[in-house]
Structure 1
């Protein structure tokens, strides 16, 4: 069907050039009704509800992570524990993957599903003013969480141990009991290390502590855990990696929208279909490698170091995958143009354009964007209808060579073709970073004492929340805000950013990610150095003990074999 002229609603008329005066009319002051304190109080109440919901969600997640990690490690065999933990982490990552995919579908719906904005404006998902149905995801996810929580009511009080792990522990307890009954070591002959080991073993067999006893013991256990160098370095490395993930999860869709001119729906689908599955594969592969090759702490540290190193190297090309911001009339200028104080071009002098309006149009020949059709000097509007959608054009534009027509909507990025290579590199980096997830948890579970495992993992998750997941989005958001070149105003205050400097946005966003990955790599390198030093010290102790045993054999004579030499 060909183009046809339609009646213009009042909102569209306000966006067009109205040649009523030769001087742009000042923006009218916001009314008291639209900028009342009641609106702010209402927003604060919504924020309070969101905080309460997040707190309840965090409390409900504790039985799965962190306590579920220690629970699995206690009742599974040591060789199977890494695989089970990898599966747990991978299934946990499926949630964000499904959420991104589901969110991408929901963002195709307008925030008010049953109606469009007043005035008859037909927005599309590519329009900068489009707001998707963000609230629908909370209802769906809350219902899914409630259903998933039902099977936990049917779990036994204590999980059955795996058979070979149970036999191993029974033999260990029997050997301990027999050695105590024979009186092989008198209290006077026990070294402090042996005494501590037996005390730890008895602690594992002891009944659960009461709340009062736990409060008394907690400070000592907390200090003992925080003084463990491997534990601290692993937590710091995970803080750096979690800061990277938190920044990506929060602002990567926005970055893709601005840098490559894709819709919010498509950006979420890309993340849900590429990045999250890659991270899941990386987590599972990490668990399989630890189980298959029976990796000890030293090799787990080496695997983490290699994963962090290659993840860092894959971040380097991201600095160059993008292009500069296209020219925006009255805001950005080409390098050869002289700066001027005016906001609007001279061709809009006959028009009365409001300063706070935003309805962008793009000149496809010069790739110059105007904030409104009025700023392009357009006086007419044309709608070209097709079978599935309609395209709006503006005509009689005094700032456009030939007068137009110009299509409604922002100019597309010249780098749109780079969005898939960019996401492939991000996804590959996510897979390599996730490769370190399970080995780093094994370093903690095998490094701390058995009775401190649950508390150590709990402290680890607390530090991750406080040091990574809370400040990282704020830090990334502040860095992104510093790249804004044009802010919209609402009630006399800065509201939303309309345009960013794409080069600065890319360098600061990717640079912040690069910084955190460098921190994670440095922590894993220090962990490897400490583990090598501990191995050297253990080798020296074994050499000394072996030489002492040989001296005992020589002193006892060739016909005698001390009881301690039998295994």
Structure 2
């Protein structure tokens, strides 16, 4: 909301422009229709598409993180570090963007950044093409024979162990490290390439759009780009339904379905699709000029012709008010033109320390760090949590996030901006709204501790508390089979709800393939560890509480929506809580601190917590690779417990902000009373 000084500056700027550029104005207006790349509206369109495509690349890894873990044998801690690694490149260069500001050719810098983002996407997909085909059965080089390999055949399994040990060579480990290193490099380049895209694009629009049109354009820009993460999860949902080696499928096909825990979807294909969109969106930026003619009186003409334009602008301002910090972040360049880059870096720590001594700024930023840590953990590991907790496919988990959780979070952000604008909330009222939102979000988290299932009984790994005694629990039934401990081909005894890691561990000696409801179903027979007919079905046991998935995701989504309401009012607390000359730096530091304190460490913290709940690890050359089974109750308590912890931290910070603001108001009112009494005495 512009104050009087801002309005005066705007009107003076318009008058000055009209006086200085009277002669070239006509030529500019004549050139604009002919030159598409001299039209700021076309730039807004191009930038909306580019940011959407860029967010699809950065968000796509989050949608396929559990699949990448299975494909390359990563722990959740490593995958969390991989997902957060793009922030390293982003934070390392954000100061340079603030320093250079408008000194460079901004459209070309955006184009170069987009090309770097596309290269990062190609690097992320590269491990698929240089690695060997995925083998879901490690004992059989011939996939068509995998049904027989896992059976209880003691004479044929002995030599296979030697082959498995030979495969653990230094060359194999070097290949694995190379694949993981390529993906980390891709994430680093992704962070570096995305640095100039948003700040330079926003400043370019703000410089050459008419000041009345700028909020509308920025509203359109951010409304379009918020769709990017949702599209990333939707793309992940589609790609993970396809088999990972769809480009090199073996003869005879495969014996897996997406519900099989060994299934790995085509995680790499989404990166290639997103890269294609980024490359196409980057091409126009190399044709935009360094400076283009500023818009002249366009919005005023629209107001004369269309009576409803004012409401549209208000909507644009509401949308842009959510993301005003990003616009203000580019203003860091305003302090830099008279400084060298060395002086700029020397000045920055002193200003940062001065800002951190401000109690309102510090507490609001800490509350936003807590909220962002919660969001980062959910964005990366919620699909995996849903897969494990409710036995659903990765594709369905991504579909739930992309169609429900992310849209509701966008609604919450918009609603928070509307409340601040329509109700003209004061700082105390903004802090009260943030406090109520955090409290409601915390209350919505409490039922999540109790919505879920315990881990079903897995022979040799977990102890089923309510399991019936019988042959299925007899520990020596598979001893004559010489089963390999690291083999993984799960089967389920549906009558006793007992799962075995392989048919061999169930003592099965045969198998049959049947058509059930038009689908191919494999059954293993003559199983010495199974009561009754001695048959088990291929695949893990289904969850006993899969019907709870909808209540769980609804509560999660509502909690995220309520937490998103605090976005705009918390930002207004920073703008109104610091000195006028420190606003630009305060917002820039706010976003830097959010990256350093929330988006970088939170995925690693969540991944480490998830790893502590693992009860059975897959081994690769003697090292822990990917977790095959989790303690579901412990996983739920620790994952939801982290969310509860971060939400509680946000609640405490907003409560302290409210207390400080009320105390400041009391002191201000007391000063007014004292001054008025002194004035009366003087009179």
TM-score bin (small chain) = 0.7 to 0.9
Which residue of 2 is the match for residue 353 of structure 1?
483
The CA deviation at 1:87 is 7.3
**Partner Cα distance (2:336, 2:647) in 1:** 43
Question: Residue by residue, what CA displacement relative to the aligned partner does 1:427-483 show, whole Å, maximum 9, x if unpaired?
Answer: 000100111111112222232334433332222222222211121111111111111
Which residue of 2 is the match for residue 4 of structure 1?
none
Q: Aligned to 2:419, what secondary structure does the other structure show?
A: helix
Assess if the C-alpha contact under 8 Å between 1:361 and 1:408 holds in 2. yes
TM-score, normalised relative to structure 2? 0.66
**Partner Cα distance (1:472, 1:443) in 2:** 24
Which residue of 2 is the match for residue 28 of structure 1?
161
Out of 257, 274, 277, which is 1:141 matched to? Answer: 274
Q: Summarize the alignment of residues 204-283 of structure 1 with structure 2, pairs less than 5 Å apart.
A: 208-211=337-340, 214-215=344-345, 217-283=347-413
Q: Cα distance 1:206–1:457, how it changes in 2: closer, same or farther (>3 A)? A: closer
Out of 101, 106, 111, which is 2:244 matched to? Answer: 111
The CA deviation at 1:161 is 11
Q: Cα distance 1:535–1:39, how it changes in 2: closer, same or farther (>3 A)? A: farther
Q: Cα distance 1:407–1:207, how it changes in 2: closer, same or farther (>3 A)? A: closer
Q: Cα distance 1:91–1:306, how it changes in 2: closer, same or farther (>3 A)? A: farther
Which residue of 2 is the match for residue 519 of structure 1?
649
Assess if the C-alpha contact under 8 Å between 1:254 and 1:264 holds in 2. yes
**Partner Cα distance (2:516, 2:666) in 1:** 75
User: Which structure carries more helix by proportion?
Assistant: 2
Assess if the C-alpha contact under 8 Å between 2:442 and 2:647 holds in 1. yes
Q: Cα distance 1:214–1:19, how it changes in 2: closer, same or farther (>3 A)? A: closer
The CA deviation at 1:266 is 0.6
Which residue of 2 is the match for residue 302 of structure 1?
432
Question: Residue by residue, what CA displacement relative to the aligned partner does 1:304-331 show, whole Å, maximum 9, x if unpaired?
Answer: 1111110000000000001211111111
**Partner Cα distance (1:354, 1:9) in 2:** 19
**Partner Cα distance (2:384, 2:414) in 1:** 29
Question: Residue by residue, what CA displacement relative to the aligned partner does 1:369-388 show, whole Å, maximum 9, x if unpaired?
Answer: 11111111212111123685
Structure 2: segments with no counterpart, 5+ residues: 1-141, 298-331
Q: Cα distance 1:431–1:156, how it changes in 2: closer, same or farther (>3 A)? A: farther
The CA deviation at 1:68 is 7.5
Q: Cα distance 1:45–1:346, how it changes in 2: closer, same or farther (>3 A)? A: closer
**Partner Cα distance (1:32, 1:351) in 2:** 19
Q: Cα distance 1:293–1:388, how it changes in 2: closer, same or farther (>3 A)? A: same
Q: Aligned to 2:568, what secondary structure does the other structure show?
A: helix
The CA deviation at 1:362 is 0.6
**Partner Cα distance (2:165, 2:480) in 1:** 31
Q: Cα distance 1:51–1:372, how it changes in 2: closer, same or farther (>3 A)? A: closer
Q: Aligned to 2:625, what secondary structure does the other structure show?
A: strand
Out of 8, 12, 24, which is 2:147 matched to? Answer: 12
Out of 404, 416, 437, which is 2:567 matched to? Answer: 437
Q: Aligned to 2:542, what secondary structure does the other structure show?
A: coil
Out of 553, 556, 563, which is 1:426 matched to? Answer: 556
Out of 367, 371, 374, which is 2:497 matched to? Answer: 367
**Partner Cα distance (1:85, 1:514) in 2:** 34
Q: In terms of Rg, which structure is larger?
A: 1
Assess if the C-alpha contact under 8 Å between 2:208 and 2:292 holds in 1. no
Higher RCO (C-alpha 8 Å, min separation 6): 1
Which residue of 2 is the match for residue 565 of structure 1?
none
The CA deviation at 1:550 is 5.3
Assess if the C-alpha contact under 8 Å between 2:468 and 2:496 holds in 1. no
Question: Residue by residue, what CA displacement relative to the aligned partner does 1:345-370 show, whole Å, maximum 9, x if unpaired?
Answer: 32223323221211111111111111
Which residue of 1 is the match for residue 235 of structure 2?
102
The CA deviation at 1:541 is 3.0
The 10-residue stretch of structure 1 (499-508 or 153-162) with the greater mean CA deviation from structure 2: 153-162
Assess if the C-alpha contact under 8 Å between 1:323 and 1:503 holds in 2. yes
Which residue of 1 is the match for residue 39 of structure 2?
none
Assess if the C-alpha contact under 8 Å between 1:30 and 1:491 holds in 2. no
Structure 1: segments with no counterpart, 5+ residues: 1-6, 164-202, 555-567
CA RMSD, Structure 1 to Structure 2 (Å): 3.8
Q: Cα distance 1:120–1:12, how it changes in 2: closer, same or farther (>3 A)? A: farther
**Partner Cα distance (2:152, 2:621) in 1:** 24
Question: Residue by residue, what CA displacement relative to the aligned partner does 1:219-266 show, whole Å, maximum 9, x if unpaired?
Answer: 442222222211111111111111111111111111111110100111
Q: Aligned to 1:499, what secondary structure does the other structure show?
A: strand
**Partner Cα distance (1:490, 1:375) in 2:** 20
Q: Cα distance 1:354–1:118, how it changes in 2: closer, same or farther (>3 A)? A: farther
TM-score, normalised relative to structure 1? 0.79
**Partner Cα distance (1:490, 1:97) in 2:** 35
Q: Cα distance 1:77–1:324, how it changes in 2: closer, same or farther (>3 A)? A: farther
**Partner Cα distance (1:161, 1:255) in 2:** 50
Q: Aligned to 1:335, what secondary structure does the other structure show?
A: coil
Question: Residue by residue, what CA displacement relative to the aligned partner does 1:115-146 show, whole Å, maximum 9, x if unpaired?
Answer: 34688542111111111111122222233344
Out of 325, 340, 349, which is 2:455 matched to? Answer: 325
Q: Aligned to 1:50, what secondary structure does the other structure show?
A: helix
Question: Residue by residue, what CA displacement relative to the aligned partner does 1:151-201 show, whole Å, maximum 9, x if unpaired?
Answer: 6674885997999xxxxxxxxxxxxxxxxxxxxxxxxxxxxxxxxxxxxxx
**Partner Cα distance (1:34, 1:204) in 2:** 55
The CA deviation at 1:113 is 1.5
**Partner Cα distance (2:536, 2:346) in 1:** 74
**Partner Cα distance (2:335, 2:626) in 1:** 59
The 10-residue stretch of structure 1 (250-259 or 380-389) with the greater mean CA deviation from structure 2: 380-389
Aligned length: 505
Which residue of 2 is the match for residue 185 of structure 1?
none
Assess if the C-alpha contact under 8 Å between 2:490 and 2:502 holds in 1. yes
Which residue of 1 is the match for residue 522 of structure 2?
392
Q: Cα distance 1:245–1:441, how it changes in 2: closer, same or farther (>3 A)? A: same
